[in-house]
Amino acid sequence: MKDYGYIRVAAASPRVRVADVGFNRNEICTLIDEAVSREVSLIVFPELCVTGYTCADLFGSNLLIDKAESAVAAIREYTRGKEVTVVAGAPVRYNDKLYNCAVVIRNGQVKGIVPKIYLPNYNEFYEARWFASGADFLSGNVHNEGRFIDDGKNFVREGFCAEIRYCGCRCNISPNLLFTVGEATFAIEICEDLWTPLPPSSFHCVAGAQLIVNLSASNEVLLKHTYRKNLVCEQSAHTLSGYIYCSSGYGESTQDLVFGGSSLIYENGTLMAEMERFRSDSQIIVADLDVEKLTILRQKQSSFYYVTPDGTRASTYAQMYSRVQVGTGASTDFEKAFHRYIEPHPFVPAGDPEHIRERCEEIFNIQVQGLATRLEHVNAKSAVIGISGGLDSTLALLVTVMAFDRLGWSRERVIGVTMPGLGTTERTHTNADDLMAALGVTAREISVVPAVEQHFRDIGHDASVHDTTYENAQARERTQLLMDISNATGGIVVGTGDLSELALGWCTYNGDHMSMYAVNMSVPKTLVKYLCRWVGETRFTPDDRVGDRTARDIILDIVDTPISPELIPADDQGQITQLTEDLVGPYELNDFFLYHAFRFGCSPRKILFLARKAFGDRYDEKTLKGWLYQFFKRFIGQQFKRSCLPDGPKVGSVTLSPRGDWRMPSDAKWALFLDELQ
């Protein structure tokens, strides 16, 4: 059974009774059973859940503390033979001090205890009245079994932990413990620790923790939930971690506060699961976190391991931690159930209309600003674009028009050129002409057919043979025309090719592959299509028209036109015969493959697994595997075309510019990737 780099985690908020440790123990054990049935590897319970967080001065009762330890011992025994790691909150006494702790339990053993560092002592919270700070273990105020080592500059205490005998087990107690479950390493902070200027989790992560566990008892007041979500979100994002936040719920004393059971699971700033608040029963939320992805992101972000301005590296902090091998993860069958949503179209904006509008505006502004800057820098008298009536040239034309508007230049200086070839259809030709007229740009038409036919005669090519030479001759003739027109008008050629075509090498070398500024070079095909539709539906009024066709009608018809280079003659009815997606695969699949291969370094096998989850209702495994095979073959084999790309603006997190995010040898072999799919 393959885990694909995932670990299944859970946050559980049990119904509690204050100071009724027997009842609380039973609720915890019931939720452990549910976690086991759902093949969870790591389950987290709230702060002081064994006793209840709101015991107040009852924490001074020796009986309560003894019973709490007995309850933890019972929970420890209950986990024997189970593949789940349990983290539960309990008061723990050490050296005549009481600590607010997280106890890590696995298979009948206590693996380690983590005390809370920051103790609130304000408003309704008076933890410092009952508990000591876990900072004791970091300052040398407790007996420490760790040894001192010389790191070349000063002495560093290794381990920062002490040994404790608790529930019949000997284990370490310290805030600086890293626990490893299978391939995942987690560390712990408790409630208030997160709300401080320098949360312990920041140091835990640079020391090696990929997951952060937070046992909390966070009460509810107006707008606090929104702030709490933002806090957890941002912490998981800038530490590149998975964050399991589990808070107390129903049953805590409401003498002055209400606890709603706010539990959250985030991964690198993305919400994976959220518990419904203000329920009166015990609850559990489950998510599958991608530890492999987090590792790759940290590997790519070299600055992650510099943790102070003077260049102190993470290795310095790692020496201050002790590592605890907890055990293997659960035997989780991620094929059977998968607790995370896989977005089929990761490049396309999603969410509420306002969020979509903001993202589309942002993309357009990046493209427009980049082009406007280049136009002004070279003092361009014109911008020349080949207009085909297809998606890419439509988006490039819209961006160019907006750039000219921003510069205060006349749209007549935008020269759109239609160049009918041997496969041009009436539908695309008409849409190209009408769009230029609606936008008020200068339109020119030059047929490439006579020049191409002469070229065929010059090189001795049989025009009845519709091969690569037949197709590429048209693309190169068009590029030559655009370049020469730009010279004649003192302008630059604006490229139209998109990110998906570059990834697949679906462009003619020194044809549509080349321009003087490529505005779409980091915009994938699925996003090009979405942006064109969005512009057509939101940016034009009924007055923007040509005859009885509005600009909106024209753009939406372009969006609905089958994607084709139109280099092969149309059929007898004048319809397109050369469909790009029949040749290179559906663009929604290619964009999905590109996103996961580039962004997260996923192996072909993992991408296939994700594709089954995202597209299983639309494509069978044979189809997905076939197109994935072709994707890797084209992506790796066509690097030479990307090694000499023109300039263009980076729009999203994925771009293939050889000067930026993707630097790959042109002679790399694809066997490694294709063999895995075989």
| pLDDT tens, position by position, 125-158 | 688 899 999 999 887 666 544 433 334 333 334 4
Dihedral sign for Cα atoms in the order 304, 310, 315, 321: negative
Tell me what pLDDT residue 151 has.
Answer: 40
Phi, psi (degrees; rounded to nearest 5) at 393: -70, -30
pLDDT at site 364: 92
How far is the C-alpha of 609 from the C-alpha of 595, rounded, in Å?
A: 14
pTM: 0.91
Contact 234, 269 (CB under 8 A): yes
| Residue 43, φ and ψ in degrees, nearest 5 | -120, 135
Identify the pLDDT of residue 350.
87
Q: Which domains occur in the chain, in start order? A: 8-327 (3.60.110.10), 353-677 (3.40.50.620)
Residue of 409, 209, 428, 460 lying closest to 314 (CA atoms): 209
Alpha carbon distance 513, 522 (integer Å): 14
Average pLDDT over the chain reads: 92
426 has pLDDT over 90: yes
Percentage with pLDDT > 70 across the chain? 95
DSSP H or E stretch at residue 323: strand 322-327
What pLDDT score was predicted for residue 122?
A: 66
- What token pair was written down for 331? 């035997």
Q: Is the pLDDT of residue 309 over 90?
A: no
Q: Which residues are catalytic?
A: 47, 116, 191
For residues 401 and 441, give the distance between their C-alpha atoms in angstroms, rounded to a whole number. 8
pLDDT, tens digit (0-9, with 9 covering 90-100), for 427-438? 999 999 999 999
Rounded to 10 degrees, the C-alpha dihedral 132/136/138/139 comes to 140
The mean per-residue pLDDT over the stretch 544-567 comes to: 91
pLDDT of residue 159: 52
What letter does residue 87 receive in the DSSP assignment?
E
Task: Mention every residue, 6+ apart, whose C-beta is less than 8 A from residue 207.
Answer: 176, 178, 187, 314, 317, 318, 320, 321
